[in-house]
Amino acid sequence: MPFPNKLIAGLAALAAGVTLHGGAVAADGHFTAEQATRGQTQFNSNCGSCHGMQLEGGVGPALKGVDFLGNWGTAGGIYDYFSVAMPPTAPGKLGEAVYVDILAYILSANGLAAGSEELTADPTVLGAINLTEAAAANAGAAAPAADATTETANAAPVPQAFTWGKSLPTKQTDGTIKDVVSGSAAANP
């Protein structure tokens, strides 16, 4: 490719937000501050009771920090999961606009900078927002991991990306299994 064509192609790639070395879109600037604010309101109404009002976790896992960002890889990974699986009592029922706004809030709360255009559910854009790079960039500012004493003593290690947003049943001392969402107990099969 002649030099002028390389220059034009490079400038076009930069204008589109694509890095020449990795092909990933920079994580910052893909949502607006207003969208993140709307997302926070929706998150507090629909997600905060399980995931904590500050995304610190509770019944559900934390949605903030280096581990969270690193486990999902891209914003598309998060969106693809929670837009069909959350909230547990009405999975997929919040609507595309609400899920995208909540994702904007989660990205903002994880230190990604807002931009001038709203985030959309476009799979190409979401899939190109590299959260692994954002996690590496935010590693110094991340909150410390939870103290091991707060963990359940007999919890089995499970890959978090497969269980986030899902309430796993817990075994009670009397041998019954308790469903965390409904609170009902059933005999151990």
Does the pTM surpass 0.85? The reply is: no
Domains of the chain: 23-148+159-186 (1.10.760.10)
Give the pLDDT score at 23.
36
Q: Which pair of tokens denotes residue 188?
A: 């151990």
Give the pLDDT score at 133.
85
Half-sphere exposure of 81 (CA within 13 A, CB side): 15
Look-up of token digits 């979401």? 126
Task: Enumerate helices (H) and strands (E) in the chain, giving the number of each.
Answer: 9, 3
Calpha distance 185→169 (Å, rounded):
9
Give the pLDDT score at 2.
53
Q: Which pair of tokens denotes residue 185?
A: 């107990």
Q: Show the low-confidence residues of the chain (pLDDT under 70).
A: 1-28, 138-189
Calpha distance 20→14 (Å, rounded):
8
Give the pLDDT score at 44.
97
Contact 179, 186 (CB under 8 A): yes
Give the pLDDT score at 135.
77
